[in-house]
Structure 1
């Protein structure tokens, strides 16, 4: 029994140690719970200067941005929300279309009275960011999108045919029961298949995010993000038809082993001033696989004239 307990405690210590290795935000950052648009958004804020908003995607939370937030905070006010329903934000039943979530971002900026900001987004964050930029162009200075398409933009229907993206259509009344207690197994599939080098999505990060996605309501929210894609596509086609293309400077970045230069090709259907960027030696998980290069590409774009 004694040896058994020692083994259990040792395993627990290993897990806790791994979790502790996820890079935290600098101590100067504060956290806030901002009530807006029918939900409560968990936000980290730090630094000083022109504002930049960092929006995460599925399989992660705002925690993914800690290394970039630390770098940008030297000369920016950095605002990092958890998307509606994910991370430590509240988990309402509805509101996961990206047009609604753009209102969440507007409310997050209204709280500290930020009129304009740069946007840096990844994955589903791209979709929320686009809905914000097209509805609030006067509040969006520059827009960086990283390694995920936007519903209804460019070759969206062809993207949907990719068998790797079966999770876009994963649904039905039993989907939450199928993954309950198996969140880590489900998420490992994303972290492994969409990485150029799966080991770079560390065990520490996997433990950390699996715990957050196992919170009550989190998997429902994640599935709802995907289930809203059809509505998002309709909304975005309508935006392009009525409002035209984005006119602010856009940087479209793809991981070298993922979307690569295709990101810029896609975004030229929806924006008139697009710069192409590629993160070398990286798949989809750019902040896990090559954070140094990602930070450098984004920082250079945000500080360029």
Structure 2
């Protein structure tokens, strides 16, 4: 009888991690904050040095619950949903990351926060970079996790990667194709960009698929990607004025960007620290939230 390797058995029968809660601790409040052309859904809790957690595509600010539960002990934690996603409004435009950086500024202004640390993932990296480039005095530290930044480093080579087909997928016909099939579309990302897809739990998939099925949400998601060309133009203009000076932590999932995240960010910042989330692909908060949380807390301290 042929024996099946233990490692293969483990991958075939891997149990999902404990289902992630999407409920923020009771000390968090939610509010809708007006920016230029959008209304941003924001969760805020705690006191102390401010830290803003910025999500990416395929998720919402709900992804940060485990990290927020830890950081709220000694930080003012601010968690927005990007415009067009989650419970934020779904405007017709403004999905270039320079404009969305203005959304973050509007949130901080409303909360009367002068300076914050930024922790971002996926498309959140792009918004966070645009914010740091425009408002460097308002960013104490910047952590970017597992996604490239348009126009920075080998961006043109990144665009050629067949795994990133979705960067050029969009438009009204595509919206009609995925209408009512949001879960099927999103499963591709959750499966293909995970080291262990089972760790992106079924309750999490149902939760995010329902949010992306809200009217206008998939249109907004496609618009996030369609803005990449403009984002690259804007970011090259930012970079022409100089690199970021604040401390930057570049984090990659071990089975995803890994140390390449730091390679990318060294094109854009002078003070870059490298970190890798072990035993994780792209979805760091689902695949290894404990290690991700330790890495971010160490950087913030």
TM-score by length of 1: 0.92
Within 1, Cα distance between the matches of 2:79 and 2:299?
19
Is 1:121 the equivalent of 2:120? yes
Hey, what does 1:75 align to over in structure 2? Answer: 74
Residue in structure 2 matched with residue 30 of structure 1 by the alignment? 29
Report deviation, 1:186.
Answer: 0.1
Distance 2:46 2:157 in 1: 41
Q: Is the 8 A contact 1:22 1:208 kept in 2?
A: no
Query: In the alignment, which residue of structure 1 is the partner of 2:297?
Result: 299
Aligned mates of 1:36, 1:116 — CA distance in 2: 18
Which secondary structure does the structure 1 equivalent of 2:251 belong to?
strand
* SS of alignment partner, residue 251 of structure 1: strand
Moved more, 91-100 or 168-177: 168-177
**Cα distance, 1:171 vs. partner?**
2.2
Provide the C-alpha distance between the structure 1 equivalents of 2:23 and 2:148, rounded to a whole number of angstroms.
Answer: 29
Q: Secondary structure at the match of 1:80?
A: strand
Q: Secondary structure of 2:231's partner?
A: helix
Distance 2:22 2:58 in 1: 17
| Residue 145 (1) aligns with residue 127 (2) | no
CA distance in 2, matches of 1:172, 1:221: 11
Aligned residues: CA RMSD: 0.8
Distance 2:126 2:20 in 1: 30
CA distance, structure 2, for counterparts of residue 141 and residue 167 of structure 1: 33
| Separation in 1, partners of 2:217, 2:272 | 34
How far apart are 1:22 and its partner, in Å? 2.9
Q: In the alignment, what sits opposite 1:271?
A: 269
Moved over 6 A (4+): none
| Superposed counterparts of 1:101-180, under 5 Å | 101-180=100-179
Using the alignment, how far apart are the partners of 1:36 and 1:274 within structure 2?
31
- 1:21 deviates by 5.7
Number of equivalenced pairs? 283
Residues in 1 aligned to 2:194 and 2:279: alpha-carbon distance in whole angstroms: 10
CA distance in 1, matches of 2:255, 2:171: 32
1:262 corresponds to 2:279: no
**Residue 218 of structure 1: how far off its partner (Å):** 0.1
Distance in 1 between the 2:34 and 2:96 partners? 18
Alpha-carbon separation, structure 1, partners of 2:35 and 2:94 = 12
Query: Partners of 2:172 and 2:59 in 1: how far apart?
Result: 24
CA contact (8 A) 2:21 2:65 kept: no
* 1:1-20 deviations in Å (ceiling 9; x for gaps): xxxxxxxxxxxxxxxxxxx9
Aligned-residue offset at 1:50: 0.6
Mind listing any 5+ residue stretches in structure 1 that lack a counterpart?
Answer: 1-19
How much has 1:112 moved relative to structure 2? Answer: 1.1
Match of 1:16 in 2: none
Give yes or no for contact 1:51–1:118 (8 Å, CA) kept in 2: yes
Kept in 1, the 8 Å contact 2:114–2:138? The answer is yes
Residue 229, structure 1, aligned to residue 228, structure 2: yes
**TM-fit CA distance, 1:23:** 3.6
Cα drift, residue 148 of structure 1: 0.1
**What TM-score comes out, normalization by structure 2 length?**
0.93
Which ranges in structure 2 are unaligned for 5 or more consecutive residues? 1-18
2:247 is aligned with 1:244: no
- Deviation of the 1:173 alpha carbon: 3.1
Structure 1, 280-289 or 163-172: larger mean CA deviation: 163-172
SS of 2:41's partner is strand
